[in-house]
Amino acid sequence: MRAALDPEGEETVSDSVLVTGAAGFIGFHVARRLLEDGRSVVGLDNLNEYYDPALKEARLEQLGEHAGFEFVKLDVRNRDLMRTLFEKRRFASIVHLAAQAGVRHSIDHPHEYVDTNLVGFLNVLEGARQQELDHLVFASSSSVYGANQAQPFDVGQGAGHPLSLYAATKRSSELMAHAYANLYGIPVTGLRYFTVYGPWGRPDMALWRFTEAILEGRPIDVHNRGDMQRTFTYVDDAVEATVRVLDEPASANPTWDGSDPDPSTSSAPFRLLNVGAGESVRLIRFIELIEEATGRHAQKRLLPMQRGDVRAATADLAALEALTGFTPSVDLAEGIRRFVDWYREHRQARAA
């Protein structure tokens, strides 16, 4: 169901979950899961043109099949309309997934990242402090670990050396969230997602780009000669972790010690968690699995390391598992097969 924000409308109190970025990749999957669980969802998105809006519209069509879904077309950067939204609506909780994504895009378009990831998040935080939320869960990124070398990445490590502006905005959003948790008692959890992939994914991400090029017989660009290591997280696993965390509001850590501060918890109701898979692989192996799933050989252009890239990113999930009991269930080979099957169907439907 589509809805325009009516500044003159009556105030509405509900037990809905507000999902920002609901037409985006992870936002769509989270919203769909919540709806399938019987929850009411208000989905917010601006349907921008960072990639084909038709893909976002197709996701919304699927969400619109659920009676409990309401869509509000709204840009989180719009301070006045965001304020009106929170004045007129009351939400049980918020899953904030709206963001300007992409490490490489941030090199040439830095203002988009500050405007969306910082100003937009500030508008969400300002709205959240006016409400009695059960929980605010927001998307951070594994990219915040930046120049850290210790593997696997643990949320107890520092994250003070980001290698891209995208990573810097995500780390900044964590600090902003902590400040609001401390000042206003908002239960806030930041999720550091590790390379989420799967059906309905983003066309700018490696799996989509590589699959498309391989099926079309075009070469793929392989940076650092494929000598990079990543934790790839199947979207269903990322969603399962997100929903479990949503139902476990952050609370103050009674043992938190300011003289030896744990960066992942606080004396405020704040926490940080990694969301990833139980394995990490080299980029070359990732490409081999795409070749197996497509039945095609990849033509590779071996290129130097790109600015802003991290050489290795492996997730330590101990804190997430201790809180929720979550363990990932979809291995990389199976996840890639599922994506390739979906992509072929999507491409065929688009060509029809």
Cα 178–Cα 179–Cα 183 angle in degrees, nearest 5: 120
The CA-atom distances, in angstroms, between 300 and each of 21, 89, 202 are: 34, 51, 21
Q: Token pair for residue 186? A: 């908002």
CB atoms within 10 A of CB 337: 15
Count CA within 13 A, CB hemisphere, residue 293: 25
Q: Is 57 in contact with 24 (CB distance < 8 Å)?
A: no
Q: Are strands 281-282 and 229-230 parallel, antiparallel or unpaired?
A: antiparallel
- Chain centroid to CA 261: 26
Q: Is 24 in contact with 52 (CB distance < 8 Å)?
A: no
Residue 319: which of 231, 195, 189, 197 has the closest Cα? Answer: 189
Phi first, then psi: give them for residue 95, nearest 5 degrees.
Answer: -115, 105
- Unique residue bearing structure tokens 């979550």: 326
The crossing angle, in degrees rounded to 10, of helices 332-351 and 206-215 is 60
How far is Cα 140 from Cα 118, in angstroms, rounded to an integer?
Answer: 12
- Spot the catalytic one: 113, 145, 166, 343: 166
DSSP assignment of 225-237: GG--EE--EEHHH
Phi first, then psi: give them for residue 176, nearest 5 degrees.
Answer: -60, -45
How far is Cα 82 from Cα 31, in angstroms, rounded to an integer?
Answer: 20
Q: Give the torsion sign (CA, 236, 67, 8, 57).
A: positive
Residue 50 designated active-site: no
SS3 for 137?
strand
Residues tagged active-site: 166
